Amino acid sequence: MNLPEWKHTLERILENISNIETLLETTTEESFLNDLKDYNAICLEFIQIGEKVNQIPESVYEQYPDIPWHELYGLRNRIVHGYEKVKKRIVWATIVQDLPNIKKQIESILSQ
């Protein structure tokens, strides 16, 4: 059975989340806030997630409103266009508080 293209996009988003999880294995909050390398690597993954979210049809957003689609794309925009204004602690909070739930929700969608 062929998956719709947007489900392939969700699989690729899960790969980005997995990359963030791998980076977190050697990244603490302190290193994220103070080490440009850790911060940049994780922000690149969020940029890619935002790009992929933007490829998903609006009808999917409506079907799965619990996923913060617009916020993920908004974070991408903030990183790309307002880099100096990005609050590192907000990005860290997104990683720690929101990303695990987003991952579970996407995995749930893909298992349907």
Catalytic residue set = 76, 81
Token pair 């990303």 is found at 99
Residue 86's contacts (CB-CB under 8 Å, 6 or more residues apart) are: 43, 78, 79
User: CA 85, CA 87: separation in Å to the nearest integer?
Assistant: 6
Q: If we measure between CA atoms, which residue out of 7, 21, 8, 12 comes closest to residue 99?
A: 21
